[in-house]
Structure 1
């Protein structure tokens, strides 16, 4: 070996020791830097309370109502579908950090600024948890010094990262962070600690919502298969089963709303609590068996799983289909056409490539990692479990692209494995150009940023149209524009469903419906009222005692109201051909809205 080579190896060993020793501090430093950069980038939006998503707006409305005295278990939104209000399937758990920051800062900066700081800072908490969990997975399954590669891959994930950014206060960021924690438990070499970690993280995720149910079920299945492979994992399944069942029961008692205490299919209710409790109890009982034959253990686990599945089908047959439970009419009109509910092959190719690039890189990394760990079962088994879930997440993209953030999160450990395989040879090259450009190219391959190249090379024919739509969307959600509406006396307003959550956050008015499946009747009243004929709109107005009708032409959801059919009421309103019982209300010049007052 040459003296230069010996020196390079010594430097590499010193670097490895440094990264191994300072992983937690390094992860927190990376989190702080990224958080500061994104806060600065989004500062104007924070000051404008620029919650762009309907769920973020309704989450803020839910926190406001709670802080104003609404009951802990009452999660109805009384500013929607008055006077009864709209029932939402969420829980209070994601409300806690938002409310805590708001209450803590109000005496210091005032109520208005405290709320803005709350929506800016609250998403950074699950961001920190998610990064720490991903760093742990990389340390345990890739190499003790590989965690920076995992953080780099995560921070380059174009679909995952926005879920953890300022203003993204909806529950998805928390569920992704808890999924990462559950995976870290699966990778934990200490069985009991790993089982408890995965069980508690799964229970908390279920308390928030069922969006990660498939992946949580796969984690449970992998935990059981660990025990099937080796009796040494009896402590893992016992700890996992007890913490999953017990944690879910406690979470149900603390966080389940009044509505979710009924046997509903779309939240942690008696339906899913019974299934989770049965599964946890079954795993705890299986851990007590002492049979050395893996075939017998597999048979016992299979029997337990079959009994739980049969019991679920017999007790809760209504929950065997889609959990939303909407009417066929609403599903055909709305749910099947929601962008995130469409499969990846129905997205534009640029978005599809951004979604799939990192998962494909992750799969390549998992293949390399599994080959290298084939003789080390302690690493091979959890790597195989993560690789299988990564494959499943990619397959699910061909069902609904809403699983894209989870698919990118599951790809991160695989990306770190790929990085460990292709970056060091580039860095050790004797050619400077290879060291520089080769390393950059390797990072691009590892992180999925290679997708940027074809996207940049092919002009987007719809770019101008998309930009115009984004501008209209921003204008429609502007608090400055809504100030004119807020000056009107409090009233109930018929507005498009995608505008309504923002309307109740930006003004003191009520609306009819937001895009939430439990309120199918109210949604159909708005869809058919604005998208039907004059008589149907009048029926909706009278049913909810509405005083105004509001539209914002150019919003992305306009297609729901039949914009291609000139005979629809929505198009008549766009053309200022309103029914005689609607009187136009003057708004400031440049307002994106058109508003009419209902007259007798």
Structure 2
């Protein structure tokens, strides 16, 4: 060991020149100013509770009630009706990020402002986690050269990043994080990462079932890769299976109260998902212990495929025991509500039923990424080809879910596409040349083909209708509901899209909310608005209604008016107010018109 050379006390560290220091200060100032101008409009909306979606408002409300003392296992919303429905099929797992932020911000700013600050910052730090995990997944698959492409392709994809804008505190952003983590674990190629992937899949199922078809694809790929590769991936498959079974069971018992373990649930994690998931995971884990190496390559593959076939038959036969698994979660909704309400919910509709500009903006990138991944499958060799098969299948399945099932699946498709395309570009930089990589990046990205194509298509499309489904800021903000808030607590009969906002900004109970389990309350509200005024009065008395409210700029006004030209909604729309209703003065800038119910 050598001693350190003595330092010269007269030597000094090099000084930063004034010009360089000024440049750094200006750069920092420019970044801060740009960040302020970027985020300030979002803060202005969040600070008045003008949130983008009803689910964002309901998430704030759920966490508010939980922190105020509502039990962990009680996810009921006790102000839906006088007799609250069992729950709104949501999970406490999705409440955790906002609750963590709110615990801190409420202490610093107080409950009223603390909730708004928490709703503002939570999607931002979740978005940072999402981008970091997506970058890790791209690098794990495509090498270090995939890092820069990943930063661009993951952070510039509107279909995914929309869920991480300030105020977006619903569960979709968390689902994307779990999906990115699951992909990262599978492409990383170690047993611990495989276990992490399974945990992420289980947590995603625990949050909600929107991504379940894609999660089943990931599970099937793990099983089929084991059938094809045998001992080469035996440890990864075993750790994945054990982790999946344990994680599903833990998610279930940690979020579902024991009294509801036997309930036939089809819109959230339930008995069928857990029993069949744990059964399949246990059988797959046991199958990896079957010695097949001595049978030779072809014999081993045949035996492993046979074992998977047996496992598949056993798991799928469980549908006869748990028939709710193949029942649509919307089966309980009354046909009238499906036609007038659910069919007008944008995120629940397939992209194929929307405008061309929307399809180009949200589906073109996954399609192009899927084509690129097929090229990568043909190009890759050996075990690496397995990963590109995973890329191609997950991209096309998620894109198909968005186009033909529900448009909100576009975020899932974009997440997979960003990770996989960045990995391919990284591989091309490393193994081919930069020019080829740049061509692929220019052809398959979320901005140039999709967003620009969308803007061009939008130019030739008819202008949107005057009113949106929800109705805009005049139907959403605290100020819009301030007059109603000032009234003594009671039951408000309002259209479905107003329910969550009334609960968030007032102390009242509501009859209708935009959740399919509230079928009875939603149907009662619509029938009241479609009834003739005298009949509506009788209905209001039977319901115990204290107030009636509408948003004059909401599409629901037009929908219900068209459905029943002689109904109460038409009378209120045209300002022909029945004698049993007394108008409550609207605040300036509000489109919410509320009425007191006089039944004496």
Do these two structures clear the TM 0.5 threshold for a shared fold by scoring above it?
Answer: yes
CA distance in 2, matches of 1:94, 1:414: 26
CA distance in 2, matches of 1:550, 1:356: 38
Look up the SS of the partner of 1:306 in the other structure: helix
- Cα deviation, residue 522, structure 1: 0.9
Give CA deviations for 1:412-465 in whole Å, capped at 9, x if unaligned.
Answer: 134325645888999967xxxxx9xx9699546433432333343455467764
Matching of residue 318 in structure 1 with residue 324 in structure 2: yes
Partner residue in 1 for 2:507: 508
Partner residue in 2 for 1:80: 80
Partner residue in 2 for 1:399: 405
- Mean CA deviation greater in 413-422 or 217-226: 413-422
Partner residue in 2 for 1:102: 102
Unaligned residue ranges in structure 1 (runs of 5+): 1-31, 430-434
User: Structure 1 residues 208 and 421, CA, compared in 2 at 3 Å: closer, same or farther?
Assistant: closer
CA distance in 2, matches of 1:131, 1:235: 29
- Cα deviation, residue 378, structure 1: 2.4
CA distance in 1, matches of 2:393, 2:440: 27
CA distance in 2, matches of 1:427, 1:188: 24
Partner residue in 1 for 2:365: 358
Give the paired residue count: 558
Look up the SS of the partner of 1:94 in the other structure: helix
Aligned equivalent of 2:377, options 357, 370, 376? 370
Matching of residue 241 in structure 1 with residue 246 in structure 2: no
- Cα deviation, residue 468, structure 1: 5.7
- Cα deviation, residue 364, structure 1: 3.0
Give CA deviations for 1:70-127 in whole Å, capped at 9, x if unaligned.
Answer: 1111111111112435620001112122122222222322222221121112223432
Look up the SS of the partner of 2:144 in the other structure: coil
Look up the SS of the partner of 1:97 in the other structure: helix
Matching of residue 276 in structure 1 with residue 269 in structure 2: no
CA distance in 2, matches of 1:265, 1:49: 32
8 Å Cα contact 1:126/1:173 also seen in 2: yes
User: Which aligned pairs between 1:257-336 and structure 2 lie closer than 5 A?
Assistant: 257=257, 260-261=260-261, 262-292=263-293, 293-311=300-318, 313-329=319-335, 330-336=337-343
CA distance in 2, matches of 1:482, 1:177: 34
- Cα deviation, residue 145, structure 1: 1.9
Look up the SS of the partner of 2:594 in the other structure: strand
- Cα deviation, residue 282, structure 1: 1.2
- Mean CA deviation greater in 398-407 or 123-132: 123-132
User: Which aligned pairs between 1:491-530 and structure 2 lie closer than 5 A?
Assistant: 491-530=490-529
Partner residue in 2 for 1:546: 545
User: Structure 1 residues 468 and 332, CA, compared in 2 at 3 Å: closer, same or farther?
Assistant: closer
Partner residue in 1 for 2:581: 582
User: Structure 1 residues 527 and 239, CA, compared in 2 at 3 Å: closer, same or farther?
Assistant: same
User: Structure 1 residues 40 and 425, CA, compared in 2 at 3 Å: closer, same or farther?
Assistant: farther
- Mean CA deviation greater in 498-507 or 387-396: 387-396
**CA RMSD of the aligned region, Å?**
2.9
CA distance in 2, matches of 1:444, 1:423: 15
User: Structure 1 residues 425 and 517, CA, compared in 2 at 3 Å: closer, same or farther?
Assistant: same
8 Å Cα contact 2:357/2:458 also seen in 1: no
CA distance in 2, matches of 1:68, 1:216: 34
CA distance in 1, matches of 2:470, 2:54: 16
8 Å Cα contact 1:265/1:324 also seen in 2: no
Look up the SS of the partner of 1:187 in the other structure: helix
8 Å Cα contact 1:135/1:147 also seen in 2: yes
CA distance in 2, matches of 1:411, 1:143: 17
Matching of residue 380 in structure 1 with residue 385 in structure 2: yes
8 Å Cα contact 1:361/1:447 also seen in 2: no
Partner residue in 2 for 1:22: none
User: Which aligned pairs between 1:54-65 and structure 2 lie closer than 5 A?
Assistant: 54-65=54-65
- Mean CA deviation greater in 41-50 or 53-62: 41-50
- Cα deviation, residue 517, structure 1: 1.0
Partner residue in 2 for 1:21: none
Larger Rg: 2
CA distance in 2, matches of 1:326, 1:564: 22
- Cα deviation, residue 264, structure 1: 1.3
8 Å Cα contact 2:372/2:444 also seen in 1: no
- Cα deviation, residue 165, structure 1: 1.8
Partner residue in 1 for 2:158: 158
